[in-house]
Chain A
Amino acid sequence: MSESNTAPRTPGWLSVANPASRFVLQGELPALAAAASALGFESDVGTNEARDNGQFALLWLGPDERLILAWQEGARQLAPRIANALAGHAHSLVDVTHRQVSRCVRGEGITELLNCGCPQDLDITQFAVDRCSRTLYNKAEIVLWRRGPNEFHVEIWRSYADYFERWLIEAAQDLPVSTL
């Protein structure tokens, strides 16, 4: 059985946006607040909120669960830095740098394209900039983070990325996305 593993040509509205590392942090609210502050945020993120301070992004995944993206290299020191801040707080910090990959989808019409597989209401009045949510794109789980009116950051487990990209490109045949 031969395997065709070559995704169609990557269109302009789709790009790789991997951070240097990723962590899933779980714990009670004081632990989460302490971590947020250690990462340079004024406070913890609210429900379905994502924040980016240039060095780190902090995404709300659940009431006791955050996703931390570290943009720059050298984030190896990240774990100790958070661990220090969390000393005395029960928590779980797990490196998921390689578990998932990031994609940036950006262009006029991108919301409709995402709505080919994501059942949430992505209208900007309902899913504003810096809103994030774990959700589905057809049969793949994704974390969706709106970075601009026509731009989303997508986190997806690595073995599902090919499926996600193929589907987007397939659907874009009917819903042309003009690259910004």
Chain B
Amino acid sequence: MLLIHCPHCGTRPELEFSYGGEAHIARPADPSQVSDDDWASYLYLRSNTKGVHAERWRHVRGCGRFFNALRDTTTDRILVTYKAGEKPPGEAR
């Protein structure tokens, strides 16, 4: 069970969180302008990173907020967490 730092509440056990998949995949502003292939990529294509992975979590059993984390998928170490809508901190990359 990981320890996850919620950018709103602080560090809490993983049990309070739900995983939300890869981060920074924005829904196209006007989907009707997007090609079928691009829409398919938006829906289904994910990076499956080995190493530092930007991913979404939600503190669902806490403050309820979605946020992002940079997690090393090989060690489970979470380098940094940041609020939804923010850019990943550059130095952690």
Docked complex Cα distance between A162 and B63 (Å): 24
Given contacts A47-B9, A119-B15, contact A141 B64 (CB under 8 A): no
Chain A residues within an 8 Å CB radius of B65? 62-63
> Per DSSP, are chain A's interface residues mostly helix, strand or loop, or mixed?
strand
A-B CB pair tally, cutoff 8 Å = 38
Please count how many residues in chain B sit with their CB below 8 Å of the partner chain's CB atoms: 13
What residue of chain B has the Cβ atom nearest to residue A140's Cβ? B61
Docked complex Cα distance between A164 and B89 (Å): 41
Q: Does A45 contact B (CB under 8 A)?
A: no
Docked complex Cα distance between A179 and B74 (Å): 48
Docked complex Cα distance between A133 and B1 (Å): 20
Q: Does A136 contact B (CB under 8 A)?
A: yes
What residue of chain B has the Cβ atom nearest to residue A142's Cβ? B61
Query: Is B8 touching A134 in the complex (CB atoms < 8 A)?
Result: no
Contacts A119-B1, A120-B13, A134-B64 given; 6 further ones with Cβ under 8 A?
Answer: A47-B9, A48-B9, A61-B64, A63-B63, A133-B62, A135-B16
Q: Which 8 A-B pairs have the closest CB atoms?
A: A62-B63, A119-B13, A62-B64, A136-B61, A119-B15, A63-B8, A134-B62, A141-B61
> What are 9 A-B contacts defined by CB distance under 8 Å?
A61-B63, A61-B64, A62-B62, A62-B64, A65-B64, A119-B1, A119-B16, A134-B64, A135-B12
